[in-house]
Amino acid sequence: MAIDPRHVGRRYGPYRHQVCAERVRDFATVVAGGAPGHFGAASGEPHPWSADEEAAARSPYGALVAPPTFAVTFAMDPFAQACADPEIGLDLVRLLHAEQEFEYRGVVRPADVLTTRGEVVEVHSKGPLDFMTVRTETRNQADELVIVGLWTAVVRT
């Protein structure tokens, strides 16, 4: 069943997150093939500026820099809420992440306090597939827009 277009414009948030250095490091380590809490054990090498605080202190940023897709930890809430919103009524068992796009306006560092708001911006169907896109905006403690996300789910009907 196609997603009702009246849901376009539904809003979620604000959601606040404080970025934590350990979480940035664990994220970079796990993505590189390691286990959480075991920096150095990754089979691949995480970029040192996202995983090694001493190397990051000597970098142009002076501290750890969140990897680009660390945004999942602080900017996904509106998308997750929309996917599980009983008013929209998507079948979660048949739902998959279809597309993702980020636009970066600034870097994210530990101790940043980030606020994310999101809105359903598009629904459409293609054959047996229903798509829903949520656009998120994340601002930091200085009210600077740091990341815009476009999150698209597909439901196989």
Partner 1 sequence: MKRLADFRVGDTFELTRSADRYRPIYYAAVSGDFNPIHIDREVAQLAGLPDTILQGMCTMAWLADACTSYFGDPGRFRRLRVRFSRPVVSGDTVTFRGRCTSVEGGRVRVEVEASNQRGEEVLKGAAAEASFEE
Cα-based distances in Å from 148 to 26, 69, 111, 126, 130: 23, 12, 20, 25, 23
- Say whether 135 sits in a helix, a strand or coil: strand
Question: Is the Cβ of residue 8 or residue 30 nearer to partner 1 in the bound state?
Answer: 30
**Does 18 sit near partner 1 (CB under 8 A)?**
no
Cα–Cα distance between 111 and 107 in angstroms, integer?
12
CB atoms within 10 A of CB 80: 16
Beta carbons within 8 Å of 145's beta carbon, 6+ residues apart: 105, 106, 137, 138, 139
- Binding residues with partner 1: total (CB under 8 A): 39
Amino acid at 131: F
> Binders of partner 1 among 75-114, rule CB under 8 A?
76, 92-94, 96-104, 107
Q: Is residue 144 close enough to count as binding partner 1 by CB under 8 A?
A: no
In single-letter form, the type of residue at position 121 comes to V
Q: Which stretch binds partner 1 (CB under 8 A): 2-10, 36-44, 119-127, 137-145?
A: 36-44
Instruction: Indicate the residue among 26 and 130 with the shorter CB distance to partner 1.
Output: 26
The reply on whether position 30 binds partner 1 by CB under 8 A is yes
Part of the chain binding partner 1 (CB under 8 A), chosen from 6-14, 71-79, 121-129, 130-138: 71-79
Query: From the DSSP assignment, how many helices (H) and strands (E) are in the chain?
Result: 5, 5
Nearer to partner 1, 11 or 104 (CB): 104
Min dist. Cβ of residue 46 to partner 1 (A)? 8
What is the token pair recorded at 64?
A: 């750890």
Q: Which residues bind partner 1 (CB under 8 A)?
A: 23, 26-27, 30-33, 35-36, 43-44, 46-47, 49-50, 60-61, 65-69, 72-73, 76, 92-94, 96-104, 107, 150
